[in-house]
A and B are shown apart, each in its own frame.
Chain A
Amino acid sequence: MRLVIQDTYDDVSLWAAKYVKRRILDFNPSQDKFFTLGLPTGNTPIGMYRKLVEFFKDGSLSFKYVKTFNMDEYVDRISFMWNNFFKHIDIDPQNAHILDGNAKDLIAECNAFEEKITAAGGIRLFIGGIGPDGHIAFNEPGSSLVSRTRVKSLAQETILANARFFDNDLSQVPTQALTVGVGTVMDADEVMILITGAHKAFALHKAIEEGVSHMWTVSAFQQHPRTIFLCDEPATNELRVRTVKYFKGLMELHNKMLEEAT
């Protein structure tokens, strides 16, 4: 596991975008060889998307041969991805995959999603964010750490938080969401998890300084061979000084990952 610590949210966004760009360019995708990318929604990745759009606009990065798979489906995810990312770039609509929460058979929809990932050759790089309770995608506390893409009942807290999308009418708020499983993300070649803000500090501590636990589902990635936790300073508030110092000492090495392979 790597822990990359940047000063601010903006630095995290830039580092993440540069890393995505580096991985895509190194992969050298083409007509017969698509780069596969797992994507999150939420506030944390917005800055990264903005930077990726800048890279596209300055001509240094194309998404023509990239396939994307979104982690979860709920309420406004489609609009989020469209407005923050897809409408600005050159990705082919055929290659942007999002779970369809309106599908007639939700279980079939989830299974088909897994099949599409397999058919695309698995995910090269899965980018995720986490909740303050350490959930990754909609794998809320207590989720199986080997779970696959499925229908997930939401925690009451999440339902309440989403009432704002429905004129605060609780009866209208969907109580279920579709999400990839922890196991689905574990299958990716590489995982990069973005954690910013002091409110996520305890979750980061639980994720990397204590044991693997299904109560903090993101902690499962301790057992993934290639995981980067990417955080800003405030998110390190609950970490041990020793942990922070150790990983800060490795920053030179981490930054090398952004450089062109020679």
Chain B
Amino acid sequence: MAPSSSKGYGYLYQYTNCRILRDGKIFREDLWVRDGRIMNPEVLFFVERVNADQRIDCGNLIIAPGLIDVQINGGYGYDFSTESQVEEGIKKVSQAVLSRGVTSFCPTVITSAPHAYKQILPKIKKRNGSKEGAGILGVHVEGPFIERERRGAHPSQLIRDYDKGFKDVLEVYGDLSNVAMVTLAPEKQKTPEVIQEFCKRGIVVSVGHSNANLIQGEEAVRSGARFITHLFNAMLPFHHRDPHLVGLLTSDQLPQNRKVFYGLISDGIHTHPAALRIAHRVHPEGIVLVTDAIQATFLPDGTYPFGEQTIVVKGKHSYLKDTNTLAGSLASLDDCVRLFAKETGCGPELALQAASLHPAQMLGIADKKGTLDFHSDADFIMLDDELNVKATFIAGECVYRA
């Protein structure tokens, strides 16, 4: 017997007595990991002719790809949109989400002033995950190019248009190199050219916080948009003569082979279970579960002054003080996965893929993240049959154990 490391290769782990999620199915299979990547055991056996250096008994748990949250605003009292809190916030939150099975995420910066973007964005660098915290795939800039009437908790006075096209965009954000995705309202003037320019730079465009009708939504998708930010929230509701952005899920006016993904906050509060079921029934491959978690996440009940706003936290709910406006969710992504599986009856495969494969596909990184395919990064989680996270691994290294 020749263990991998004895033949000049890296240390080879064989996770055994487990079921793995691959190609949309959960089945009994070992997972082979070396040098932070998922390995093809047939190549190891027939070509390299090596054995595992270490076999790890997983106690019959499910192994699934690590979860990816593309919309998370902060936590532990820290807000990624507040200059002074960004660095500490990223540190704390990226560490905290490991126990929730999140192996990479897009810190989300809501509508801010131009000078604030220039302070905040350079501080949120893309990085690989580790014991220190989940990986950062790039910032999700949500706003300021959104519709005032659909602003939700975004500060009204900072909302803008891009009447001069991408020039305005650059003036507001400054350097875009740390940005992975942007949410904008597609009904604005110059939207097609702005979207095309974002796409050219490899930044995913999402439509949301918007009054757009379906035609405007379709035009945005034809220009390159591929995501809908928290479907049903902060947009006009479905209407049978104009289904608005919700109609993108069943539109026949989109380019062939273009899949539209959409975020769903399945925290049981922001999206009614019946709405989750509607979305699931009509367009299951597009679902991307997001938390949209705010800075009050992981904090006890109370009233918290956050910048110019005051947020009341009560149980799983958070409101802007003295209003009925939801301030964002307090959910964790693993909670969302469990709730989505329960409410839609979609099965664990899709619920897990909606928080791993789908966000990776949406971001165009599914060759490395969001799957247990061979050669992918070994970012994975172990779960029991109720989908409780028992362990989290990044690049093959255990970063959390329950």
Contact = CB atoms under 8 A, between A and B. Distances in A.
B15 to A, nearest CB: 13
Interface string A71-113: 0000000110010001100001110101000000000000000
Interface string A8-45: 00000000000000000000000000000000000000
Contact of A78 (B30, B42, B48, B49): B42
Nearest to B2: A94
A94 B45 CA distance: 8
A109 B35 CA distance: 31
Contacts of B2: 92-94
B44 interface: yes
Nearest to A97: B46
Interface of B: 1-2, 30, 41-42, 44-46, 48-51
B45 A96 contact: yes
A78 to B, nearest CB: 5
Contacts of B46: 78, 82, 93, 96, 98
Interface of A: 78-79, 82, 86-87, 92-94, 96, 98
A127 B46 CA distance: 21
Contacts of B45: 82, 86-87, 93, 96
Nearest to A79: B42
A82 B41 contact: yes
Contacts of A92: 1-2, 51
Nearest to A91: B45
Residue from A78, A93, A94 whose CB has the most chain B CB atoms within 10 Å = A93
B42 A82 contact: yes
A93 B44 contact: yes
15 contacts: A82-B42, A82-B45, A82-B46, A87-B41, A87-B45, A92-B1, A93-B2, A93-B44, A93-B45, A93-B46, A93-B51, A94-B1, A94-B2, A94-B49, A96-B45
Contacts of B30: 87
Given A93-B2, A93-B45, A94-B49, 14 more contacts: A78-B42, A79-B42, A82-B45, A86-B45, A87-B30, A87-B41, A87-B45, A92-B1, A92-B2, A92-B51, A93-B44, A93-B49, A94-B2, A96-B45
Nearest to B48: A93
Nearest to A102: B47
Nearest to B29: A87
A93 B47 CA distance: 9
Contacts of A82: 41-42, 45-46
A92 B45 CA distance: 9
A79 B42 CA distance: 7
Contacts of A79: 42
B338 to A, nearest CB: 32
B3 to A, nearest CB: 11
The 10 A-B residue pairs whose C-beta atoms are closest, nearest first, are A93-B49, A93-B45, A82-B42, A94-B49, A92-B1, A78-B46, A78-B42, A79-B42, A86-B45, A98-B46
B16 to A, nearest CB: 10
- Of B1, B44, B50, most A-chain CB atoms within 10 Å: B1
A98 B43 CA distance: 12
Contacts of A94: 1-2, 49
A171 to B, nearest CB: 24
B50 A93 contact: yes
Nearest to B47: A100
Contacts of B49: 93-94
